[in-house]
Amino acid sequence: MFKLFMCTAVGIIASLPFAFPVLINSKFQEAYKIIPIFMLSSMLNVVVGLYSVVYVALKKTKEIAKTSIYSGIINIVMHILLIKFIGLYAAAISTVFAFGLIAVYRYFDIKKYIQIRLEKKWIVLIVFMYIVTCFSYYTNRTLLQITVLLGVFIISFVINKSLILLGVKLIIKKLKSEYRYRERDINGISILKIH
Q: Note the pLDDT tens digit of each residue in 21-67.
A: 888 777 777 788 899 999 999 999 988 888 888 888 888 888 888 88
C-alpha 7 chain-centroid distance: 7
Share of the chain above pLDDT 70, in %: 91
Which domain range does residue 104 map to? 2-194
The confidence band for 183, taking pLDDT boundaries of 50, 70 and 90, is: very low
* C-alpha to C-alpha distance for 20 and 13, rounded to whole angstroms: 10
Helix (H) or strand (E) holding 116: none
| pLDDT for residue 185 is more than 50 | no
Q: What is the pLDDT of residue 40?
A: 92
Give the dihedral of Cα atoms 6, 11, 17, 19; nearest 10 deg.
-110
Question: For residues 149 and 133, what is the distance between their CA atoms, to the nearest angstrom?
Answer: 8
- CA distance to 53, 165, 185, 192, per residue, from 134 (Å): 30, 29, 58, 50
Short-list 43, 10, 47, CA closest to 150 = 10
Residue type, 23: L
User: Quick one: pLDDT at residue 177?
Assistant: 74
What CA–CA distances, in Å, run from 84 to 29, 42, 63, 92? 21, 24, 33, 14
- Of the pLDDT bands very low, low, confident and very high (cuts 50, 70, 90), residue 180 is low
Residue 191 bridge partners (DSSP): 184
Q: Is the Cβ–Cβ distance between 36 and 152 less than 8 Å?
A: no
Provide the 10 A C-beta neighbour count for residue 116.
Answer: 14
CA dist list (Å): 65 to 73, 99, 123: 12, 14, 27
Interval 97-148: pLDDT, tens: 999 999 999 888 888 888 888 788 888 998 999 999 999 999 989 999 999 9
pTM: 0.77
At 179 the pLDDT is 62
Q: How many domains does the chain have?
A: 1
